[in-house]
Amino acid sequence: MNTQSPPSAAGIAGASLPFRLWTPEERQASLATALQHWQAGEDVWVYGYGSLVWRPDFDFEERRLATLHGHHRALCLWSRVNRGTPECPGLVFGLDRGGSCRGVVYRLAGGRVPTYFPALWDREMSTGAYLPRWLNCTTEAGTVKALVFVMNRANPAYIRALPEPELLAIVRRAAGRYGPCTEYVVQTAQALRAAGIHDARLDAIARRLEQDGRPLPEGA
């Protein structure tokens, strides 16, 4: 089934925006700022709302469902490397202002922070599109302060909410070094469902993509 969509107006505009990767020095400076009040050996919590739900890439001591207030999950970030290219950008999730977001928090052993956090910064802060913040997350076992990557609205890669047909057209066309944008969106939706997290808007988008007849991630 051929579901290739023509470039959308937003997709064309996204491809024309300035783009550059952060240098290792910029990432290191950002990491140092985020950890400036961390006490060596102290366990830390990390909040996941997108791919960190199904691919955390670090060992953890504990995992809990958690709610973050003040931000919501949205496909609001242009991806020109992981799930798109500079010429044909895709969309990935960010935490935009307003509402709340159901996700997960991971507790990392303090002794492993110096090992895991540089890799986490390489993954999440490659373009400086997020703002690392320590925010309260509500869990059934109590509130924890976790590292949260929220959307930097001042970054050129930020895009406000798009009409669903335009959003779908962008996602269907894009692919990057980690694979098709479609797989990323569908796999995130599936991981949230498996965790018992209900996101009605994402579910609707993912089901439209699943109906396209494209190959889905293994286990879908």
Q: How many helices (H) and strands (E) does the chain have?
A: 7, 7
SS (H, E, C) 49-109: CCHHHHCCCCCCCEEEEEEEEEEEEEEEEEECCCCCCCCCCEEEEEEEEEEEEEEEEEEEE
**62 to each of 46, 118, 137, 164, how far by Cα in Å?**
11, 20, 14, 36
DSSP state, 149?
A: E
Task: Record the tokens describing residue 202, joined without a space.
Answer: 């994402």
Sequence-distant contacts of 24-32: CB under 8 A, at least 24 apart: 26/128, 27/118, 27/121, 27/122, 27/125, 27/126, 28/118, 28/121, 30/121, 30/125, 30/128, 30/132, 31/117, 31/118, 31/121, 31/125
Cα angle 129, 131, 133 (rounded to 5 degrees) comes to 160
Among 124, 140, 183, 218, the active-site one is 124
124 a catalytic residue = yes
**How distant is the alpha carbon of residue 47 from its chain centre?**
11
**Active site amino acids:** 124
